[in-house]
Amino acid sequence: MAKKKNHNWCGILFIAAYGVFTIYVSRILGYLNKGKVIGKLSGTALGGIKESFVLFGIIFILAAVILFFREYIYKKGFEEAVDTEKGVAPHYFKK
């Protein structure tokens, strides 16, 4: 059968990209407020919204880093068991 392919790095990159986009949005919000596209947000509102976007951006990037470690360091000593019965998720067991 075809060679096993693991594309998890791609998903990890995606999560990191979401993090970057979230932080980008937090920067853009200030710009939009100036152009009155959002409406007139007060300073507190803009500050709070920006903070939460940055917070989640950082969370996503951290999640990407943790998943990266799980993928390439933690799982090194494990072998993948292909479960043909259920055919759903791959499980791992110690070699």
Partner 1 sequence: MAEEKDLENVKPDETLDVMGETCPIPETMAHKKLKKMSVGKVLEVYTDHSAAVENSFPSMLKKMNYPYCVKQTAPGEYTIKIRKTS
Partner 2 sequence: MNPYFLEYSLVGIAGLLFGAALERGRMCFVLATNNIITAGDTKILEGILWAFGISVLIFGAVESLGIIPVQAAVQGVFPSGWYDLVGALFFGFGIGLCGACMSGLIFRASSGFTQNWMQLFGILIGTIFFAFIIFPMTNFLYWILHTIPWLGIKPGLSDYIPHEWFGKAVWGPFVVALIFGGFFMLFGLYLTKRRFKKIGEERGEKNYKEPVITWNMLKFKEPYSPRLGGLLFAVIAIIVLFASYYTVHKVAYLGVTTPYGSFDTYLLSPFINLYNVVGPYKASFLPKLSSNWFQIVPVAIPMTLMVLCTFAGATITAILGGEFKWRVPRRKMMFLQNFIGGVFTGVGARIALGCNIGTLWSGFLMFSWAGVLFLPTLVLGMYLALKFQELVW
Give the shortest CB-75-to-partner 1 separation in angstroms: 12
In Å, how far are 41, 46, 55, 78, 82 from 12, measured between CA atoms? 34, 30, 18, 20, 22
> Any contact of residue 36 with partner 2 (CB under 8 A)?
yes
> Any contact of residue 3 with partner 2 (CB under 8 A)?
no
> Any contact of residue 37 with partner 2 (CB under 8 A)?
yes
> Any contact of residue 2 with partner 1 (CB under 8 A)?
yes
* Residue selected from 73, 88, 93, 95 as contacting partner 1 according to rule CB under 8 A: 88
Give the shortest CB-31-to-partner 2 separation in angstroms: 7
DSSP characters over 57-82: HHHHHHHHHHHHHHHHTGGGGEEEEP
* Residue selected from 1, 2, 3, 7 as contacting partner 2 according to rule CB under 8 A: 7
CB neighbours of residue 87 within 10 Å: 7
